[in-house]
Chain A
Amino acid sequence: MQEKLTAITGSMGYFLPEIAIVISLVLLLIAGLFNAGRLNKLYQVLALAFLAVTMVLVVGQWQEVGDLVRPLPLFNNMVQLTSVSVFWKMICVLGAFITVAMGFGNQDFKDKSSEYYLLAFGVLLGAHLLVMANNLLTIYLSIELLSITAYILTSFSFNAASKEAAVKYLLFGAAASGVMLFGMSWLYALTGTLTIDDVQFLDGLIKANALPFTLAAIMTLAGLLYKISAAPMHIWAPDVYTAAPTPVAAYFSIVPKLAGIGILMKWMMVINLFGSSPVNWTIVLATIAMISIGIGNFSALWQNNVKRLLAYSSIAHSGFLVAGLVAYSETAYKAILFYSAIYLLMNMAAFLFVNHAEKEWGYTKVEDYKGLINVQPLLGVALVIVMIALTGLPPTGGFTGKFLIFSALWDSYVESGNDWSLYLLIFGLMNTVIALFYYLKLPYYIIFKNAEQKPQKQLIFSLQNFIGFFLVVMILLSFFKPDSLMRIINSVSFAF
């Protein structure tokens, strides 16, 4: 008993970012009690300040874990602090920061703004716990924390469509997490422990029969795939992205998804059972990746709504992230980290500009962007660059990210003779060509079409556009000088 209590108090020192998130959540809740309608801006500034503090704490943690060889178990091994998890936490906090900087768009419901920021902190807390999780209970609880707050955030447009999206998200999510939970209960039955990196856990799974193990692992995988919106659990994504407020859609495309990828990386290492797994998981993952990339790209071809298009593109991007898992090597995992960082930059930039166009000019369809380059040259050029980056063409970081993933796949084909890596590589390359058609639809309308009626020239200088342009510069820089990001990623160790 005494030991356990000391372990808990000793862990507190390594838990500072999460404690900061909880404290800021409570403070925002209290601040929300005072005349919420008029203090809208104040809540945003408060939330940004809290996130900045969290970021400082996470960066502090990064320096602490730098010389850590083994993962650091916290709270009796319920969560584990590793350099990988701290990297994911940095990405999540950055994503939350940009989302909060986009502000609370709904002018009619200003009194709900403190709740909006509060729920965003809830999602962030879930993501932080998820990337550190080392126990089935922690995984389940943090996924539920992510999901339940996300359901409410989806409905924050306060119209019929967003309620519909929220109910679809909710029912689908509840079913997926229920199935995941049942899978977890089987894993517990097979092993008798909940700690996923425990010797007893791995031993139990190796000794278990092939069929129950496979079923349990696939059921657990379903819940994780739902969080990263990879096929076949992607159906909610287009509706939710279309109907939710644009900042929320941006948030969903970054934080829950990348946190899900973070835990999936660990989970694949566990159920691979040091290569003695009865199922060849590379085939399963390669199929998932191919279906995700295919569905994402082909469905996006017919889309007219920009947010829906970005939703399908985010499904395709999860496919590419899962493709990194197929290669299953340290280089591949580093490629995933790089791709995620770039994905954060380019997706956030896209959503920032789309959000601006939607709020200021009411643009929702691709045709609305006609001749934007004549009216707002700077914004037009920035959007074109972002779309090129999302396609994965040089001279942008998107190319570097895709290149690293594909070369990791090629390496895994050459080194281990894994045919599926090759198939996936060819499929991915072909799909990049298909992706050109829909990603370049927007630049086509922006540059080559002339607007019938031009929106009046307006100043486009605001905090969010400033961040957007900064992200565009970063996307370009990450192509020409990826070394600093690479240096950060290279100091990550995947010790397990």
Chain B
Amino acid sequence: MSSEYYFILAAALFCIGLAVIITKKNAVMVLMGVELVLNAANINFVAVNKNNLVSLDGQFFALFVIVMAAAEAAVGLAIILKLFKYYKTTELDKINQLKG
């Protein structure tokens, strides 16, 4: 299978992720959108590296991204948990103390 299909899949996933980030009002849903975007990039990296037998740069990049996504999700969920303690909601529209 040519790499083209992978790129189309990745681009679609990226667009879905970005749409989720922009439209969803819930902080946790936005984080899920971010995960989709990161995985879209991962598919690209692995697909490009598919036929390259000399270096494994792309594969390694994908592994690093997975680890970073986990770290980001951990910190993100911790902050959202604390936010919930103060505001009793994770709806981003209702969290608007800071303005100006």
Contact = CB atoms under 8 A, between A and B. Distances in A.
Interface of A: 136-137, 140-141, 144, 148, 151-152, 155, 159-161, 163-168, 170-171, 174-175, 178-179, 181-182, 184-186, 188-189, 192-194, 238-239, 242-243, 302-305, 308
A344 B31 CA distance: 34
Nearest to A148: B75
Contact of A178 (B34, B47, B97, B100): B34
A345 B68 CA distance: 34
Contacts, number: 124
Contacts of A164: 83, 86-87, 95-98
A274 B80 CA distance: 45
Interface of B is mostly: helix
Given A155-B82, A178-B37, A185-B45, A305 B100 contact: yes
Given A151-B79, A178-B38, A189 B98 contact: no
Contacts of B38: 178, 181
Given A148-B71, A163-B86, A164-B95, A189 B44 contact: yes
Nearest to A169: B79
Among A152, A159, A166, A185: residue with most chain B CB under 10 A = A185
Among B31, B60, B100: residue with most chain A CB under 10 A = B100
Contact of B72 (A144, A160, A194, A242): A144
11 contacts: A137-B64, A141-B68, A151-B79, A167-B79, A171-B21, A174-B72, A175-B21, A181-B38, A182-B14, A182-B44, A194-B61
A410 to B, nearest CB: 36
A188 B48 contact: yes
Interface of A is mostly: helix
Contact of B27 (A160, A167, A189): A167
Contact of A167 (B55, B57, B83): B83
A181 B95 contact: no
A140 to B, nearest CB: 8
Contacts of B76: 151, 170-171, 174
A137 to B, nearest CB: 5
A188 B64 CA distance: 15
Contact of A186 (B27, B44, B65, B79): B44
Nearest to A185: B44
Interface in B1-39: 7, 10, 14, 17-18, 21, 27, 30-31, 33-34, 37-38
Contacts of B75: 148, 151-152, 170
B83 A188 contact: no
B54 to A, nearest CB: 10
Contacts of B14: 182
A458 B30 CA distance: 49
Among B27, B44, B55, B87: residue with most chain A CB under 10 A = B44
A188 B45 CA distance: 7
Contacts of A184: 41
B67 to A, nearest CB: 9
Given A148-B75, A163-B83, A189 B97 contact: no
Among B48, B71, B87: residue with most chain A CB under 10 A = B48
Nearest to A158: B82
Nearest to A194: B57
A159 B86 CA distance: 8
B56 to A, nearest CB: 11
B98 A188 contact: no
B45 to A, nearest CB: 5
A137 B57 contact: yes
Contacts of B52: 192
B3 to A, nearest CB: 8
Closest 10 CB pairs of A and B: A185-B44, A178-B37, A160-B86, A181-B41, A185-B41, A174-B34, A239-B98, A163-B83, A182-B41, A189-B48
A181 B37 contact: yes
Contacts of A151: 75-76, 79
Given A163-B79, A167-B79, A243 B98 contact: yes
